[in-house]
Structure 1
Amino acid sequence: MIHQPCQILLIGVGGYAHFYIEALRKFEQLGICQLAAIIDPCPEKAVDWPYLKERGLPQYASVEAFVDDPVAVDLAVIASPISFHAQQACALLKAGINVLCEKPIAATLEEVADMKAARDESGKFLEIAYQWTFSSAMQQLKADVLKGALGKPEKLLTRVAWPRSSAYYNRNNWAGKIHNAQGRPVYDSPVNNATAHYLHNMLFVLGKEQHLSASPTAVTAECYRANAIENYDTACCKIETLENADIYFYTTHATETAEGPIFRYIFEAAEVHFTHGSDIVAHFKNGTQKTYGNPDVDRMLKLQICAERCSNALPQNDICGVEAASAHTLCVDALQRVPVQTIDSTYLHSKSLGEGETLIYVDQMESIIREAYEHGQLFNEQNLAWAGVATRVSLLDSLSNR
């Protein structure tokens, strides 16, 4: 059977949407999907505006405007800021359109519940674009975990140190903020934005079924700010789960050099290792190894899979739906209840990157994170002069309402 290309509605055409537009250009040539319309209040500000304008696509200033006067589409791709994910996804699902929403699913647990209800009522799918979850490497690893091939999970650790300068925090009106200019929750932080994938992935690997993530029961964390922002730019946390395996996550934007993501997943019979740019490899205690591949090899497989799912070319099973993505939001919600501690300027450095751009970083942050990761410790356990106390937040009440 010949399938017609999936008709795509793209919401948000600036920022990360550039990568969707690049992928769409390739997938259109392959007959997989076709960009049919765009929604953005200021599309002319996007780097891809000349191309989009030349295409002469129908364009709308809002989701509401589209719903009032729609064109036929099969899949809506939401690449707008976090604070708009829930509102836009719910409206599009209610309009009878499948949705692929960029990560994270939403800012708050209440928004996640609204999105789940809208999905269930619509009969359409809602996938969240954590690209590692869609990768064949991660799907194979998860399948082996479920089969018990690696033994019982014991401890999962990941570290990511990604520098972000003043340009990053000045690029929009919500970077580093708890709420955006309209008062909507955004909870922007490395945990909820740039490095969200790598916390989500540990939760996903521990899920009891292929489409589920772990159930976090408590988060013990330290949140810090080195930059002059509202929320935190550095965090370390220990997450307890119903699956009886602890998760350790270390992330920062207040670093001079980039490292990671790097992870070590410890199981009863094997350790699984990954370093950015390489393959995921399981090292078994019996001396054997298994290579799963690089989860970054095709970051837009998420779009291809959802497009083909709309065309009935793939089974109608969620890969990263609400049930998989909501565990991350539980953890983000807990971290927002942890006091943000400002790192004293004594321990900070400032580097000029030219043209008014500045990078603020913590002295020796790379080695601090490495050390904590290697020993499964929080920062305050390293006797750092600037580290404060950790806060433990129970998630049992939130988990019961999930």
Structure 2
Amino acid sequence: MKSEPCQLLLIGIGGYGHYYIEAIQSFEKQGILKLVGIVDPAPESAPDWAELKKRNLREYASVEAFLNDPIRVDLAAIVSPISFHMSQSCALLRAGINVLCEKPIAATIEEVAAMKCARDESGKFLEIGYQWTFSPAIQELKADVLKGCFGRAEKLLTRVAWPRSSAYYQRNNWAGKIHNAQGRPVYDSPVNNATAHYLHNMLFILGEELHLSASPLSMTAECYRANEIENYDTACCKIETDIGADIYFYTTHATETVDGPIFRYIFENAEIHFSHGKDIVAHFEDGSQKTYGSPDGERMHKLRICIDRCSNTSTQDDICGVEAASAHTRCVNAFQKVPVQTIEKSFLEQTTRGANDTLTYLPQMESLMHEAYEREQLFSALDLAWTGKPTHIEFDTI
């Protein structure tokens, strides 16, 4: 007998919520999902609102409003700002609802601990939406890592340069901020938002079980600010992990052109390479190769997996639960201990992207990131005039 479709509550229909709505429409056509309600304090500002309001959906201004007048829901997808992830996830879990919460899991490790407690007490699942982690390509790659196909992990490196103009920082009241207008921590930065996937993925690949990430032991990092924001828009780091492999991560929004994500994972018997738009390929010492496909192919595979879990058509354990996602948050919290060095305007250039929209960038930033990445060094080691000293942090001190 065909099971009933999974009943979904979508929290946040603007911004990234658009991609959820596209996926929801596809899954509804397959008969496996039904969107029954939305939560958004200002739904009329979302581009999909005109179509959504034609449907027979329950509308709520907040999660609290939903809980005061609930309908049957199997799964809640949280696509709200970072500062709401903990409170909304905990409330929904305690109401007996499974949760798929967008990345990052939360702003602070204290919030992560509260979410773990709520999940454990509820008996429901809490998945965090790092879509690379859910992709078949990454799942197969990690399975091979755990089988020992590549030998011992030595070092993992990733670089990603994504331009973000002034419109990006003006789109809400918390972009580029440490705290939002209500004083809640958001720690918004490329590390915790746009390029969070790629630091998380290195931690996840090194985890000693399929549902775990490696634990960071220490970090040496640099944070820079080209834009007139509170937090940083450029960072690099070297992280020592509990399994003995080092992680190098380079990220910036202060760039004129798009570059990456690009990674090189170095193991005892193989190197694994990926460039955006291509497949992950393992190159073995004996000259053989194995291709895993692209981790970018199925953005909403995470939602499909959660639907299957709710419909009892899957016995899958957590793929990216609290245990996998929390290592990234620990790194984000460590970054917040690193002094942000403001780059002097004389080193920067600007270009107009549109009406009241300006891109501020470091010339040749992508080539500088490439050099640091290839040399396995932080920006300060390149003897650049705008760099400062790195900061070293031991994780038992954060």
Please list, as runs of the form range in 1=range in 2, the aligned pairs for 1:298-337 lying within 5 A after superposition: 298-337=298-337
* CA apart distance, 1:397: 5.1
Task: Render the CA deviation track for 1:275-324: whole Å, top value 9, x for unaligned.
Answer: 00110000000110000000011110000100111001111400000000
Question: Which amino acid letter does the alignment assign opposite residue 238 of structure 2?
Answer: K
**Matched residues in 2 for 1:159 and 1:109: separation?**
25
Task: Render the CA deviation track for 1:189-219: whole Å, top value 9, x for unaligned.
Answer: 0000000000000000000000000010011
Question: Which amino acid letter does the alignment assign opposite residue 228 of structure 1?
Answer: E
1:188 is aligned to 188
Task: Render the CA deviation track for 1:163-183: whole Å, top value 9, x for unaligned.
Answer: 000110000000000000111
**Matched residues in 2 for 1:318 and 1:127: separation?**
7
Question: Which amino acid letter does the alignment assign opposite residue 320 of structure 2?
Answer: C
* CA apart distance, 1:396: 2.9
1:3 is aligned to 3
Normalised to the residue count of structure 1, the TM-score between the two structures is 0.98
* CA apart distance, 1:67: 0.7
Please list, as runs of the form range in 1=range in 2, the aligned pairs for 1:19-34 lying within 5 A after superposition: 19-34=19-34
1:95 is aligned to 95
Question: Which amino acid letter does the alignment assign opposite residue 153 of structure 1?
Answer: A
SS class of match (2:53): helix
Please list, as runs of the form range in 1=range in 2, the aligned pairs for 1:362-401 lying within 5 A after superposition: 362-396=362-396
Question: Which amino acid letter does the alignment assign opposite residue 220 of structure 1?
Answer: T
1:177 is aligned to 177
* CA apart distance, 1:31: 1.1
1:13 is aligned to 13
Please list, as runs of the form range in 1=range in 2, the aligned pairs for 1:2-401 lying within 5 A after superposition: 2-396=2-396
Aligned length: 398
* CA apart distance, 1:354: 2.1
Question: Which amino acid letter does the alignment assign opposite residue 145 of structure 1?
Answer: V
* CA apart distance, 1:32: 1.6
SS class of match (1:55): coil
Question: Which amino acid letter does the alignment assign opposite residue 118 of structure 1?
Answer: A
Which runs of 5 or more structure 2 residues have no equivalent in the other structure?
none
SS class of match (1:80): coil
Question: Which amino acid letter does the alignment assign opposite residue 262 of structure 1?
Answer: I
Question: Which amino acid letter does the alignment assign opposite residue 223 of structure 2?
Answer: C
Question: Which amino acid letter does the alignment assign opposite residue 305 of structure 1?
Answer: I
* CA apart distance, 1:229: 0.1
**Matched residues in 2 for 1:354 and 1:291: separation?**
41
**Matched residues in 2 for 1:205 and 1:111: separation?**
24
Higher mean C-alpha displacement, 108-117 vs 312-321? 312-321
SS class of match (1:238): strand
**Matched residues in 2 for 1:232 and 1:268: separation?**
35
**Matched residues in 1 for 2:360 and 2:320: separation?**
35
Task: Render the CA deviation track for 1:33-71: whole Å, top value 9, x for unaligned.
Answer: 111100011001000001110113101011111111100
Task: Render the CA deviation track for 1:114-134: whole Å, top value 9, x for unaligned.
Answer: 000000000000000000000
**Matched residues in 1 for 2:130 and 2:9: separation?**
19
Task: Render the CA deviation track for 1:54-110: whole Å, top value 9, x for unaligned.
Answer: 113101011111111100010000000000000000000000000000000000000
Question: Which amino acid letter does the alignment assign opposite residue 138 of structure 1?
Answer: I
